């Protein structure tokens, strides 16, 4: 999904009740950083529940003295039996 499509859907089709970030692991490499975290949310898309816990990996770059996210990957955590 392209950025424009994602933003349009997020603004018109999705409702976020709550979200919480935890378990941050930050690795900094000069002007780049990789941040891994866990996010839990209560949300809906087109009226259907979209609750869950997701593992996030964000890539940050320092540009002109400010940090900016340039990439994100999300996935569901592996099951306990994994």
**Overall size of the chain counted in residues:** 82
Structure confidence by residue, pLDDT tens digits, 37-48: 999 999 998 889
In the predicted model, residues of the chain with pLDDT beneath 70 are 80-82
Q: Which residues pair with 46 in a beta bridge?
A: none
Where do the structural domains in the chain lie, given as residue ranges?
3-75
**pTM to 2 decimal places:** 0.75
Strands (E), 1-82: 14-29, 32-45, 48-49, 52-63, 66-75
**With respect to CATH, is domain 3-75 assigned 3.30.300.30?**
no
pLDDT of residue 80: 66
């Amino acid at each position: 999904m392209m950025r424009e499509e994602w933003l349009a859907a997020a603004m018109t089709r999705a409702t976020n009740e709550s979200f919480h970030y935890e378990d941050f692991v930050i690795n900094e490499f000069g002007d780049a950083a990789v941040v891994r975290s866990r996010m839990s949310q209560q949300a809906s898309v087109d009226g259907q529940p979209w609750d869950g816990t997701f593992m996030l990996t964000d890539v940050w770059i320092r540009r002109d003295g400010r940090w900016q996210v340039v990439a994100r990957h999300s996935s569901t955590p592996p099951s306990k039996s994994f």
